Amino acid sequence: MQDTQGKVIAALMEQLIQTGPEGMAEAFTALFNLAMRMERDQHLGAGPYERTDGRRGYANGYKPKKVDTPAGTVTVAVPKSRGCDEPFFPQSLERGRRSSRAIMPAIAEMYVQGVSTRDAAKVMKEFGLESLSSTQVSRAAAMLDEELEAWRTRRLDPVKYLILDARYEKVRDGGIVRDAAILSAIGVGPDGRRRLLGVSAALSEAEVHSRDFLNDLVDRGMRGVEFIVSDDHAGLRAARRAVLSGATWQRCQFHLAQNAIHHAPTLAIRKRIGEELRAVWNARDLKTAEAELAALAESYRKAAPKLAEWLEVNVPEGLAVFTLPKGHRRRMRMSNPIERAVQQEIKRRTKKVRVFPNEASLLRLVTAVLAEIDEDWATTDRVYINMENRDD
């Protein structure tokens, strides 16, 4: 084996001498394939055709996979195995794979809950999975759950700004399909960097679930919250008042504008109300924003009195952002950052399952997705809000 590896490396060096930088992609592919084969040999406890008492399984061919590299996108040959207690996957490709691993137990449970074999197999195919044994599923679930539980219960650093959001997914409960709420939180620390703080999924009553979620964040060390952004979810509103009463609350301006459209009585008003609200959001200070809002409500007093009343009661909840330094307002005026970065990715993964067999499988997948996003944020030096920029 060592002799074969040496010959491969020598051949690659000769190729690079002949082709120069243009041959980097081919050289990388060959080296990467060699590294993965070596890793499979270690996993199996034996090389190709090697007889040994320590063998833990057998090679089972290869599966092509595209990988983005500095040399471009290349297609590598991922080694497969059979007869192993633990399914093989190269550690070099492990990053970003938590959510794929999380889907394995969910798919298996779909079978148990009576989902047709064809539908479950279709979902498996979309995730690039082949047949799964009960042993593989139980081992994968146990290992992954321990890892994800550690992420959900880790200690938190101080948080200056907090962004909260909720979405709903279908879960089967006692033979009935119900909506389960997924709560997630982004924190912006005193250093201006954002982190995903936690996630929770439950069928329980909204306020109880929200309060438990916020209490958990506090118990894990979340301190110093001065400003909260969220939509007007009833459960989050009550929980926020109970747990984080000292923080200023900003109602998401994007959702406020969407709600205003729903309250508009005619198509003509629906088409223009968003643009009219933008004058309120973009005012230079709170006093000007309040004057713009008063003028807007007054303009609809006769033509749409219910809309005028709704604007006067609800839109002021979207003006709390004017209490922040000017340089911080753009990031904290709405909860869209959590929707774009988090909720859309959750939706992309969960839509293939459609109905989860239970709360545990739903929580497993959304935690895996969030942990991956948080890991990406943690490895970048990008500052989300420049805390020293208070004017521009």
Residue 182 and residue 386: Cα distance in Å, rounded?
Answer: 30
Among the ranges 11-15, 136-140, 150-154, which has the highest mean pLDDT value?
Answer: 150-154
Question: What pLDDT is stored for residue 111 in this prediction?
Answer: 40
pTM over 0.85: no
Residue with tokens 């406020």: 256
State mean pLDDT over 279-299. Answer: 95
Residue 207 in contact with residue 239, Cβ under 8 Å?
yes
Residue 196 and residue 378: Cα distance in Å, rounded?
Answer: 10
Amino acid at the residue 260: A
Residue 99 in contact with residue 372, Cβ under 8 Å?
yes
pLDDT tens-place string over residues 320-363: 999 999 999 999 998 876 666 687 888 877 877 788 888 888 89
State mean pLDDT over 35-50. Answer: 82
Count of CA atoms in the C-beta half-sphere (13 A) of 73: 3
Q: Are strands 194-202 and 176-188 parallel, antiparallel or unpaired?
A: antiparallel
pLDDT tens-place string over residues 297-318: 999 999 999 999 999 999 999 9
pLDDT tens-place string over residues 144-179: 778 889 999 999 999 999 999 888 999 998 889 999
Q: Is the pLDDT of residue 64 over 60?
A: yes
pLDDT tens-place string over residues 224-241: 999 999 998 888 999 999
Question: What pLDDT is stored for residue 348 in this prediction?
Answer: 78
Query: What value does the mean pLDDT of the chain take?
Result: 82
Closest-CA residue to 136 (of 95, 83, 77, 93) = 83
Band the pLDDT of 36: cuts 50, 70, 90.
Answer: confident
Count of CA atoms in the C-beta half-sphere (13 A) of 242: 15
Question: What pLDDT is stored for residue 151 in this prediction?
Answer: 93
pLDDT tens-place string over residues 359-375: 888 898 889 889 888 98
Q: Is the pLDDT of residue 107 over 70?
A: no
